[in-house]
Copies of this chain bind each other. A is one copy, B any other.
Amino acid sequence: MKDALKALMIHGSHKSYKKRAYIIKAGAISNKVYYLKSGVVRHFVITRQGEEKTIRISQENDFFFSSIVSFFKREPSYIYCQCLTNVELVYWHSETLDELYEKNPELNEFRILKLTNFILEKHNKEIDLLTKSAFERFEAFCREHAKLFNRIPHHVIASYLDVTPETLSRMRSKLLKS
């Protein structure tokens, strides 16, 4: 798989974004897959109430679609992707990927792994929201991503965890005291 991954990386294009820049906004169409070399990106939608709701936070070494619906269906994105720090990306157009997959069938293993992990991530998020308390979700988030609190605005983390910024602040105090 390592050689195939090397081939993937060699054929990617490189791009930098400044903090606060948008990789995609709702309404645009994207046929790119991204690899995050450095930085943090938030993926959000505007809710019916007009609020920004963060549905994913991508970090170093993450792969992501700027809009998965755009990518697979060529429909306008519902998603905004915004850089929360300066960001260094590698990206591939879908046509480039199709050619690479054709030439390197051993990349299939990697694709299947990434797709599976993405499903598990989405599935766990859905189940956690239904079965865990806000504090349990917050604790799990801290176990994996404690350093994010020093890198990105806390209201983004609150939105991702589906709590108000005030609740997040209270939970942090509680955790720091315990």
Contact = CB atoms under 8 A, between A and B. Distances in A.
A131 interface: yes
Interface string A120-151: 10111011001111000000000000000000
Copies in the complex: 2
A56 to B, nearest CB: 10
Contacts of A6: none
Contacts of A116: 72, 115
Q: How large is the interface on A (under 10, 10 to 19, 20 to 34, 35 or more residues)?
A: 20 to 34
Nearest to A114: B115
Interface of A: 45-48, 53, 55, 68-69, 72-73, 78-79, 105, 108, 111-112, 115-116, 118-120, 122-124, 126-127, 130-133
